Structure 1
Amino acid sequence: MTFGELVRAYFQHYTIMAYLGLTVAAIAGFAFYPAGFWATIFSIAAALFVYPLAWHLLHQYVLHGKWMWKSKLLSPTWKRIHYDHHQDPNHLEVLFGALHTTLPTIAVATLPVGWLIGGPGGALAAFATGLLTTCYYEFMHCIQHLAFKPKYKWVQTMKQRHNEHHYFDETGNFGITNYAWDRVLGTFYEKKERPKRSPTVFNLGYDEKIAETYPWVKDLSGGIASGHPRRRAMRQKDGTAQG
């Protein structure tokens, strides 16, 4: 995939169009209910500080938590927003976050802090910042997962850390575009620091034994896949050819 093909695919995705449309709406709202210059600057800065932390904590304790699969009500959401992504990290249909989960997260992480700093205008400025930050996250997430080799070393390093999270050990490197909070919270690592691959890197701990008690994710998935996704695909292809 070329960079141009990646850009075209990215901007044609419905979630990105939704984020950009809401950003325009937030900016228009700000024009009617503006905050002062410094209140706006501080609202934007606060959103840029809070949003990555909120994402990190949600990623570590919700998406990688071992409690959503225990609920028949929540297990379909967990399957869609993270289990499927780890089962096959390069599957485009689950690469982008679902709007019904991302938009409330952006709103909760940005609107209150913006409102406290600058009232309605500050809240709108912070919300727009969160939306654009999400667009940036999603673009870098595409680079990390699709067949595209980034040109710049810093992007290559970012992609390497994220791929380690998906293909080596899912208990660290929770960041997407930077790993500052991983360093602060003690979850940052490089592959050379961990000698063995995590046995749950592709299933997040949801295995056949767990499914005996909490079967809903397995039922929705038509079973539980195990092992590297490319090797699974090769086995399926060989089985089809033999059949």
Structure 2
Amino acid sequence: MDSMTTKEIKFVDGKSKRIFASPLLERISRTHVAIPVIIFLLYATGIMYWSIRYIEISPGLTMLFSLFGLAVFTWVEYNVHRYVFHIATSTKRKKRFQYIVHGVHHEYPKDKERLAMPPLLSITVATFFFIVFRYILGDYAFAFMPGFLVGYASYLLIHYMVHAVPPPKGWLRTLWKNHAIHHYKDGEVLFGVSSPLWDYIYGTTHDSRVSN
């Protein structure tokens, strides 16, 4: 670990770690998962209300775009996890960035206060995506974005549960198993948390890596 990281990162206890020297930054870097989930669901509800009340889009098309938004989120989730959270740490700055946004979670996966982005960052990211989709889709973004945000909220809940509660029976058990492999066996595979779909499409399942 480089000297800057050693100086700035201090142990808090056996299950967590301090990553900012500033008490304020350290505090706002932590959150209970329920807070960003509520933010995203309220955000989605507000945009959906605006879409129904002020945007002339049929109910059927609204539902279609919302489902499309949900599907697109799973793709965004996969790629952000793979290429941003697991960015190559070729420089000290990249190493520091990767550790703050995701590395500390891999080191302390049971730290429940770092299983989701803090509220301020959650609102910023949601607004950024809304601006991007508004530019691409125009008024259809008001129908698309609620599905995207519901997908985001679902991802946060699933990510929290796979770390905090025992795996269930049935098909959902696969999500727990995949994420456990990603954390404890091979961090270069199984980037999809809420869905394994894109790991199959892009060939990043554990089986595909073993076979290569």
- TM-score, normalised via structure 1 length: 0.63
Give distance in 2, aligned partners of 1:28 and 1:42: 16
In the superposition, relative to structure 1, how do residues 171 and 124 fare at CA in structure 2: closer, same or farther (>3 Å)? Answer: same
Query: Which of 83, 94, 117 lines up with 1:61 in the alignment?
Result: 83
Kindly name which structure, 1 or 2, has the bigger radius of gyration based on alpha carbons: 1
Query: Which of 179, 188, 205 lines up with 1:171 in the alignment?
Result: 188
Structure 2 counterpart of 1:30, one-letter code: S
In the superposition, relative to structure 1, how do residues 22 and 76 fare at CA in structure 2: closer, same or farther (>3 Å)? Answer: farther
Residues 96-107 of structure 1: pairs in structure 2 closer than 5 A:
96-107=116-127
Query: Which of 135, 141, 144 lines up with 1:123 in the alignment?
Result: 141
In the alignment, what sits opposite 1:240?
none
For residue 163 of structure 1, report the CA deviation from its aligned partner: 0.7
For residue 131 of structure 1, report the CA deviation from its aligned partner: 1.3
Which runs of no fewer than 5 residues in structure 1 stay unpaired?
Answer: 1-9, 196-243
Compute the RMSD of aligned alpha carbons. Answer: 3.0
In the alignment, what sits opposite 2:178?
161
| 8 Å Cα contact 2:89/2:98 also seen in 1 | no
1:160-203 CA-partner distances (Å, limit 9, x unpaired): 01110000000000001211111111101159x749xxxxxxxx
In the alignment, what sits opposite 1:186?
203
For residue 159 of structure 1, report the CA deviation from its aligned partner: 0.3
Structure 2 counterpart of 1:127, one-letter code: M
1:131-173 CA-partner distances (Å, limit 9, x unpaired): 1111111111122101x22433212121001110000000000
In the superposition, relative to structure 1, how do residues 101 and 182 fare at CA in structure 2: closer, same or farther (>3 Å)? Answer: farther
1:100-144 CA-partner distances (Å, limit 9, x unpaired): 554555455566456655x32x21222111111111111111221
Which runs of no fewer than 5 residues in structure 2 stay unpaired?
Answer: 1-30
Instruction: Note if 1:51 corresponds to 2:62.
Output: no
Identical pairs, percent: 21
How many residues were matched structurally? Answer: 180
- TM-score, normalised via structure 2 length: 0.71
Structure 2 counterpart of 1:92, one-letter code: K
Give distance in 2, aligned partners of 1:139 and 1:68: 32
| 8 Å Cα contact 2:192/2:199 also seen in 1 | yes
Give distance in 1, aligned partners of 2:33 and 2:203: 37
Give distance in 1, aligned partners of 2:123 and 2:98: 16
For residue 57 of structure 1, report the CA deviation from its aligned partner: 1.2
| 8 Å Cα contact 1:27/1:124 also seen in 2 | yes
In the superposition, relative to structure 1, how do residues 76 and 70 fare at CA in structure 2: closer, same or farther (>3 Å)? Answer: closer
Partner SS state of residue 109, structure 2: coil
In the superposition, relative to structure 1, how do residues 108 and 54 fare at CA in structure 2: closer, same or farther (>3 Å)? Answer: farther
